[in-house]
Structure 1
Amino acid sequence: MTLPMCKWLSAERSEDHLVAWNESREWRQHEFRRDVLSLLAGLRRTSHSRWALCLEDNYSFAVALLAVIYSGKTPVLPGHFRPAVLAEQRCEFDALITDLPLSPDCPVLRFPLALQETLTVLPPWPQDASVILFTSGSTGKPQKIVKPVSCLELESQWLGTRWGTEFAGVRFAATVAPHHMYGLSFAFMLPLSLGLPFATTSIKYHEQLHSLASVHSLVFISSPAFLERLDPALNMPKLRHVFSAGGPLKHAAVRLVEQTCGDVPTEIYGTTETGVIAFRQQYQPEQAWTLFGDIVFSLSPDGNTSLISPLVSPSGCFTLSDNIRMLPADPRHFELLGRKDRIVKIAEQRVSLTEIEQRLCQLDLLSEASVLTVEKRGRVYVAAVLVLSRSGEQLLDAQGQAALLNNLRQSLRSWVSPVALPRYWRIVPAIPLNQQGKRSAAELQEMFL
């Protein structure tokens, strides 16, 4: 049912096959092949081997990814296009392809391309092709992950086998970009493997989704951050299928998606390192997760959960950072109990950032909090980013920020040691999220520069 990447541009798909679209135009197979060949000609004139892809347009991303792989070079997906993040990851790439006004300290190829020369024949597909990604950075500095294309293709086979028969005649639209693992797997690999068209522009507003769904039958790839804020007043046409990943959906959000989009969303559990692990549909609150077929969990004596999966390269094994409870009656089903504590050492004391965050979120003055560490003059401190509740806003207006923060410190003293009390505080309207709906560690850190 799915085609491997090496056949996406082959004659197995007709010249008129629809590859991608937006509200103003469509891209067909013959254009896709032509554009990849054109970029290939440009890449062949360079000696750079690692190309960072910073492209907002999803069709341009598809062209660039295939061209870089066909040229025998390595695509690097930075995950974030913020200059500070790119500067931090500069040692991981030699050159950059972009459609944004970025000026990194490296050679740049800019879309739309103005290349005159083109090739007529694709070179052989490199059998050991791989893609470099980075973890989301939601709990720390993003980590580099080398993902073999063969693992991405196997994952697409699993997804196509599980859901492909339901997708006849659909188009894919997404709020998530293909620069992170979830977007790469579901908004890029899956539609191209199945030969289904994808939207070239990421969905940012509910009105965009409504406009597309009014014309096309859609599979929608999204995250809790977007789905939990759907407006039921939009009278959305029924979507064919809704996927969500980046964190568990609250059951109230599941009901909202069902009411608004006509589908109980399929939640995906996975990581950048492992690819997909499990899925669920919450017909009941906190419904258990189901492992994908070839994945096995193993419980360690220390309480950690490891998985064995053919999607994990090269070891096939990975230790999860989440607490897992297997259902006694069925080892293929489990419950997610939240992330393991984020433990840091400050002044030789073990400090749980997770505990501080949980204690803050229990206070009436706050509706949300994010706790992290910052380094100042060679020392590490705890910092907190806060979203106030209605009562917190009233206290701030009436008595000022100093009184508010003093109240929070006094409340925390009952629970945590003095060294664990946040030294730096920021009050924000909302915790910053990345396109995957996860907390953006880079933006949180920048608040304390």
Structure 2
Amino acid sequence: MDSQKASASVTPLPMCEWLSTERAEDHLVAWSESREWRQHEFRRDVLSLIASLSATPYSRWALCLEDNYSFAVALLAVIYSGKKPVLPGHFRPAVLAEQQSEFDALITDLPLSPGCPVLRFPIAPQAALNVLPQWPQDVSVILFTSGSTGKPQRIVKPIFCLELESRWLGTLWGTEFADARFAATVAPHHMYGLSFAFMLPLSLGLPFATTSVKYHEQLHSLAAAHPLVFISSPAFLERLDPALNTPKLRQVFSAGGPLKHDAARLVEQTCGDLPTEIYGTTETGIIAFRQQHQPEAVWTLFGDIAFSPRPDGNTSLISPLLSPSGTFMLSDEIKMLPSDPRHFELLGRKDRIVKIAEQRVSLTEIEQRLCHLDLLSEASVLTVQKRGRVYVAAVLVLSRSGEQFIDSQGQAALLDNLRQTLRSWISPVALPRYWRIVPVIPLNQQGKRSAAELQEMFL
């Protein structure tokens, strides 16, 4: 019997105690389909990497690791060494080059050459320390926003905020997690993956999968072998195969954007339970949750969080997860229920207004108009700069009707049809000047649209 049995009844451990003797030597930390990692190996590997890091003069270490166990080892070793962990979020060379000033050296298990010193996994074992160094005061990690609506922004996230999140989540769902294992489609380099696929299982003493789930068949295989908590996103869940009935999952979480009701029901049909959707941001951490028992179900705020409407129509968030101010102005349009301010509707983003030729242009409106057309199944609208001027651009995924239209009349006729239709709703300056037709909209590791890849289409 694994030593984490009935761990849901145990208070989540803070990060500074994950390697303590509170957990047995044979406690299961992580697993893959071919092997398992126990507490004594976890502690040994962290101590060995601390020895390697301590021999270097570099203070800011970027973590670019595909293997989740290696990530856990690296993050703890960097913190115990008194260094600063930086989570770039993207492993694309262009993004790393753009963020080069944020780190001094890199730890990776990938063939990356970012122009700075690199420690590569697997790292040759060092003469490990016998005792862990003292846990530093005021520990934090550097993250970056997903970049789904622009250039990723740097965020300093104190560890105590992540630990508080884990306590809230454990209080709400800890009994459902008992004896389960965690698997995820999202990586721990962004806020959602860090909180749910990394902090939560390690805080509760539950094992996590070392590799990300990429296909429904992988999920099916894992769920057949173990009780599973699954951390995912709409990009994965909306593409589940209804013919492949997965053994009932203990819990399914989704974040990165609201799930369509049909997709929520598909998860219920395929995985045995409605997914719990999480609303939050990198800056704020978790804010609210919902399950769509009916279409467009309202959201419920987590316990110690509140909204404060502003005279300008915006909404301020008040949360102990915000440091140091405790307040944050949301970029989303919130409609609180008059009868219960702890429940609300999420109406979409407000911050996609750009100025073109001195006119205010809503990229969201253009995108929504396109998505409602029969010729298209999906669209992403952005701005591009050409010869010093800003233009609207659109990336399109055709519906079956759109494919038939192109086959019979050609792409030029299709784009002309789209322009003429849009003229009924938007001003000429807001009409997309540049168009790209693609099989799918590119997504980042968190299942959000990749602004970098979308921009690259128009270079």
2:7 corresponds in structure 1 to: none
Q: Structure 1, residues 258-296: CA drift from partner, whole Å, max 9, x if none?
A: 111111111111110010001111112211111111001
**Residues 1:429 and 2:451 aligned together:** no
1:397 corresponds in structure 2 to: 407
1:181 corresponds in structure 2 to: 191
**Rounded Cα–Cα distance in structure 2 between residues aligned with 1:74 and 1:341:** 31
Relative to structure 1, the CA distance from residue 327 to residue 103 in structure 2 (aligned partners, 3 Å threshold; closer, same or farther) is same
1:352 corresponds in structure 2 to: 362
Describe how 1:262-273 pairs up with structure 2 within 5 A: 262-273=272-283
**Rounded Cα–Cα distance in structure 2 between residues aligned with 1:446 and 1:4:** 41
Describe how 1:57-68 pairs up with structure 2 within 5 A: 57-68=67-78
Farther-moved stretch of structure 1 (351-360 vs 14-23): 351-360
Letter in 1 for 2:358: E
Q: Structure 1, residues 139-162: CA drift from partner, whole Å, max 9, x if none?
A: 111111000001111111111111
2:381 corresponds in structure 1 to: 371
Q: Give the CA deviation at 1:418.
A: 2.0
Q: Give the CA deviation at 1:45.
A: 1.0
Letter in 2 for 1:67: A
1:111 corresponds in structure 2 to: 121
Q: Structure 1, residues 229-254: CA drift from partner, whole Å, max 9, x if none?
A: 11122221111111111111111111
Q: Give the CA deviation at 1:339.
A: 1.4
Whether the 8 Å contact between 2:51 and 2:126 is mirrored in structure 1 is no
Farther-moved stretch of structure 1 (292-301 vs 361-370): 361-370
% identity of equivalent residues: 86
**Rounded Cα–Cα distance in structure 2 between residues aligned with 1:404 and 1:78:** 39
Whether the 8 Å contact between 1:21 and 1:197 is mirrored in structure 2 is yes
**Rounded Cα–Cα distance in structure 1 between residues aligned with 2:209 and 2:342:** 34
User: Over aligned residue pairs, what C-alpha RMSD do you find?
Assistant: 1.0
**Residues 1:448 and 2:443 aligned together:** no
Structure 2 residue corresponding to 1:210, chosen from 198, 202, 220: 220
Q: Give the CA deviation at 1:414.
A: 2.2
1:86 corresponds in structure 2 to: 96
**Rounded Cα–Cα distance in structure 1 between residues aligned with 2:429 and 2:291:** 42
Q: Give the CA deviation at 1:362.
A: 2.2
**Rounded Cα–Cα distance in structure 1 between residues aligned with 2:360 and 2:260:** 31
Structure 2 residue corresponding to 1:169, chosen from 150, 160, 179: 179
**Residues 1:249 and 2:249 aligned together:** no
Q: Which runs of no fewer than 5 residues in structure 2 stay unpaired?
A: 1-10
**Rounded Cα–Cα distance in structure 1 between residues aligned with 2:393 and 2:409:** 22
Describe how 1:229-308 pairs up with structure 2 within 5 A: 229-308=239-318
1:123 corresponds in structure 2 to: 133
1:222 corresponds in structure 2 to: 232
Q: Give the CA deviation at 1:420.
A: 1.4
**Rounded Cα–Cα distance in structure 1 between residues aligned with 2:333 and 2:107:** 39
**Rounded Cα–Cα distance in structure 2 between residues aligned with 1:3 and 1:251:** 36
**Rounded Cα–Cα distance in structure 1 between residues aligned with 2:75 and 2:346:** 34
Whether the 8 Å contact between 1:341 and 1:353 is mirrored in structure 2 is no
**Rounded Cα–Cα distance in structure 2 between residues aligned with 1:384 and 1:249:** 23
Q: Give the CA deviation at 1:341.
A: 5.0
2:5 corresponds in structure 1 to: none
1:324 corresponds in structure 2 to: 334
2:81 corresponds in structure 1 to: 71
2:54 corresponds in structure 1 to: 44
Farther-moved stretch of structure 1 (410-419 vs 433-442): 410-419
Q: Structure 1, residues 214-241: CA drift from partner, whole Å, max 9, x if none?
A: 1100000011111111112222111111
Give the SS at the match of 2:243: helix
2:347 corresponds in structure 1 to: 337
2:6 corresponds in structure 1 to: none
Q: Give the CA deviation at 1:120.
A: 1.4
Normalised by the size of structure 2, how large is the TM-score? 0.96
Describe how 1:189-200 pairs up with structure 2 within 5 A: 189-200=199-210
Whether the 8 Å contact between 2:52 and 2:126 is mirrored in structure 1 is no
Whether the 8 Å contact between 1:341 and 1:355 is mirrored in structure 2 is no
Whether the 8 Å contact between 2:74 and 2:107 is mirrored in structure 1 is yes
**Residues 1:151 and 2:161 aligned together:** yes
Letter in 2 for 1:116: Q
1:95 corresponds in structure 2 to: 105
Whether the 8 Å contact between 2:242 and 2:270 is mirrored in structure 1 is yes
Letter in 2 for 1:319: M
**Rounded Cα–Cα distance in structure 2 between residues aligned with 1:44 and 1:88:** 27
1:141 corresponds in structure 2 to: 151
Whether the 8 Å contact between 1:140 and 1:441 is mirrored in structure 2 is yes
Letter in 1 for 2:426: V
**Rounded Cα–Cα distance in structure 1 between residues aligned with 2:396 and 2:264:** 26
Farther-moved stretch of structure 1 (144-153 vs 412-421): 412-421
Q: Which runs of no fewer than 5 residues in structure 1 stay unpaired?
A: none
Normalised by the size of structure 1, how large is the TM-score? 0.98
**Residues 1:384 and 2:394 aligned together:** yes
**Rounded Cα–Cα distance in structure 1 between residues aligned with 2:141 and 2:449:** 24
